[in-house]
């Protein structure tokens, strides 16, 4: 194999992997959009029944659950927790906005 063949092969593999990453990123965005559609409905339900925007007990259970899922998927549980905390903060912000309207 010549140097240029190796380079072409590596570039082809790099492009294939990047295409997979792009597809996964698109799926993640669509899944987050679906999740936020559900949490918006939760926010409206909470507001209609004067429930608080945050539910610390549920959030704690979700963090434990997601950490366990991350471990079984060979993903850093601390990373999964940070991601979930970011999502939860955004959900609570949405719920607070809904409650004010």
HSE-up of residue 64 (Cα within 13 Å, Cβ side)? 6
- Percent residues over pLDDT 90 in the chain: 92
pLDDT of residue 3: 62
In this structure, what CATH number is given to the domain that contains residue 46? 1.20.59.10
Domain span including residue 35: 3-100
Q: Each residue of 10-34: pLDDT tens digit? A: 999 999 999 999 999 999 999 999 9
Contacts 24+ apart (CB under 8 A), 45-52: 46/95, 46/98, 46/99, 47/95, 47/98, 47/99, 47/101
Number of domains composing the chain: 1
- Residues 42, 62, 85, CA angle at the centre, nearest 5°? 85
């Amino acid at each position: 194999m010549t140097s240029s063949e190796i380079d072409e092969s590596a570039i082809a593999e790099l492009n294939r992997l990047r295409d997979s990453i792009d597809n996964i990123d698109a799926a993640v965005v669509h899944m987050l959009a679906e999740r936020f559609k559900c949490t918006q409905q939760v926010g409206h339900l909470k507001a209609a029944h004067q429930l608080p925007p945050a539910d610390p007990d549920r959030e704690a259970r979700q963090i434990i659950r997601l950490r366990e899922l991350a471990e079984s998927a060979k993903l850093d549980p601390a990373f999964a927790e940070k991601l979930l905390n970011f999502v939860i903060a955004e959900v609570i912000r949405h719920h607070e906005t809904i409650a004010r309207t």
